[in-house]
Amino acid sequence: MAGMIGQLRSVVIDCPDPRALAGFYAELLGLPLIEDNSDGDDWVVLGGPPGHQPRIAFQKAPNLRAPAWPDPERPQQFHLDVTVDGIETAERAALALGARRLPGEGEGFRVYADPAGHPFCLCWD
Residue 67: inside a domain, yes or no? no
Residue 69: inside a domain, yes or no? no
DSSP conformational letter for 92: H
Residues 55, 85, single domain; the answer is no
pLDDT-derived band at 66 (thresholds 50, 70, 90) equals: confident
Q: Say whether pTM exceeds 0.85.
A: no
For range 23-32, the mean pLDDT:
95
For range 77-93, the mean pLDDT:
89
Q: What CATH number has the domain bearing residue 48?
A: 3.10.180.10
pLDDT-derived band at 25 (thresholds 50, 70, 90) equals: very high
C-alpha span between 15 and 62 (Å, rounded): 7
Pick the closest to residue 118 from 59, 52, 43 (CA basis). Answer: 59
For range 73-79, the mean pLDDT:
78
Helices 87-97 + 18-29 axis angle, to 10: 160
HSE value, Cβ hemisphere, 13 Å, CA-based, for 109: 16
- 101 is in which domain, residue-wise? 80-123
Environment class of 11 (CB within 10 Å of its CB; exposed 0-12, middle 13-18, buried 19+): middle
Residues 53, 84, single domain; the answer is no
Residue 4: inside a domain, yes or no? no
At residue 26, the 3 state secondary structure works out as helix
Q: What percent of the chain has pLDDT over 90?
A: 56
Total domains in the fold of the chain:
2
Residue 97: inside a domain, yes or no? yes
pLDDT score at 97: 95
Q: What is the mean pLDDT of the chain?
A: 88
